Structure 1
């Protein structure tokens, strides 16, 4: 059976996109045919209103970032509507070098409930959404070599196993609660309502409006939010004049804690059997 290679991903700053497309592109080469028009990027709100359906001929690489150790809750409504119809799936989660906690097992469960057969899974590292130093410039070339090797393992499993086995991935059931930072007195710090500020260097280029995955930044006044902020880092990391920033003390303390305590390089974890 010829496999159609598909990608389905959310990637506000491009790290998840790079890993998912890296796997898919290597698989296209291995299967020896072009997979045209099979990429679905649901980063933007209008695409999360689409109906997505696959067939048994499809192999879908599904990627999401890890937010607070879980699949981002703003993506759950969309993900729960995707129809697998027996397609093969490879869940991929990308985290900022702290931990992926229960994100991978949660994504695997969602895909299985959607009617996919999950045959492999992976947790990869990308530059943290809050920081430009934590997991800086990852995925790097070492990561991408693992990405390509992972694709080879997936291909080998598909062509050698008559009955493709489902997989085990690390995680807890019931899932952990969403990770919440603590202050120096061990009190929980809730940063969910923290929003970015805009300084006087803003040139009103509207780039932040275009990259916000929630569509929350006001077009006429980019300092104003009309919806939620998920702290994805897109507006800050893409601003050409560094006009976007956070000044909330709890957020900044958590950011510093991450940058100090999680500097040791984490490596991708792959699950195949």
Structure 2
């Protein structure tokens, strides 16, 4: 019997929801429990994860600018697949997953996994509370369970193909570049969140949820480390003290909300 695993990076819990739903459904079909490894926080990425041929890993990351977040790639290549089967899953913020799923599939194959299916699901955009608000929602999770059922059927029938055939281009294209209406690129790489001193009560939640460990423990208004704009500190602050005010960031956020307001579809590949 295979051991089912859910392994994911999920700053605002959208990837977590989908990956755990898929893994849980697979485990129910297998009549067993599933194991969870959440590598969102820095300390968890100090652990080298090793799998073997009796494992099935549902492996999830978000898509940032159409790709796997670049600061995760080095860690992802420390994971030892050991001949395990894997299902790459990405979450995207209602625009497009571009080559993110293809890239994650390729990374897992390079790590020694055998990918057998893949999926791209919609989650509320990290920058926004209105773009894909509340997703993954109940309908998305129904799709996630149906996807898991289809994977299980192919797995038990032995009819899956590896590497999994998924959407995207190979070799993968460059990261998506936000642009203004004149076509000029908008660079927000060095943008960091601000803190409203009138709202901050010093609880330290932002320090504890930052996946890069970049917020100063002694003064949460300071962000000396790198910011990847995951917005965990913004969305998980109970007083609403964290925010971004960079003009380029706000322009890009508004353009996304205006241009991609439709309900984007999930994509599954079995």
Normalised by the shorter chain, which TM-score bucket? over 0.9
Partner of 2:207: 209
Separation (CA, whole Å) in 1 of partners of 2:217 and 2:254: 31
Runs of 4+ residues over 6 Å off in structure 1: none
Partner of 1:32: 31
Unaligned runs of 5+ in 1: none
Picking from 142, 146, 151, the partner of 1:145 is 142
Is 1:94 the counterpart of 2:108 in the alignment? no
RMSD: 0.9
Partner of 1:46: 43
1:174, CA displacement in angstroms? 2.5
Separation (CA, whole Å) in 2 of partners of 1:146 and 1:152: 10
Partner of 2:10: 11
Picking from 160, 178, 191, the partner of 1:194 is 191
Separation (CA, whole Å) in 2 of partners of 1:267 and 1:142: 11
Partner of 2:225: 227
> What SS does structure 1 have at the residue aligned with 2:67?
coil
Separation (CA, whole Å) in 1 of partners of 2:13 and 2:155: 28
Separation (CA, whole Å) in 1 of partners of 2:30 and 2:95: 35
1:184, CA displacement in angstroms? 2.4
Separation (CA, whole Å) in 2 of partners of 1:174 and 1:246: 34
Count of aligned residue pairs for this structure pair: 268
Aligned pairs for 1:75-154 (under 5 A) are: 75-154=72-151
Q: In the TM superposition, what whole-angstrom CA distance separates every residue of 1:162-207 from its partner, at most 9, and x where no partner exists?
A: x642121111123111111111221001001000000121111101
Separation (CA, whole Å) in 1 of partners of 2:263 and 2:130: 12
Unaligned runs of 5+ in 2: none
Picking from 159, 165, 171, the partner of 1:168 is 165
1:210, CA displacement in angstroms? 0.6
1:247, CA displacement in angstroms? 0.5
> Which stretch shifts more, 191-200 or 167-176?
167-176
Partner of 2:52: 55
> Which stretch shifts more, 164-173 or 204-213?
164-173
Q: In the TM superposition, what whole-angstrom CA distance separates every residue of 1:132-151 from its partner, at most 9, and x where no partner exists?
A: 00000000000000000011
> What SS does structure 2 have at the residue aligned with 1:189?
coil
Separation (CA, whole Å) in 2 of partners of 1:62 and 1:29: 18
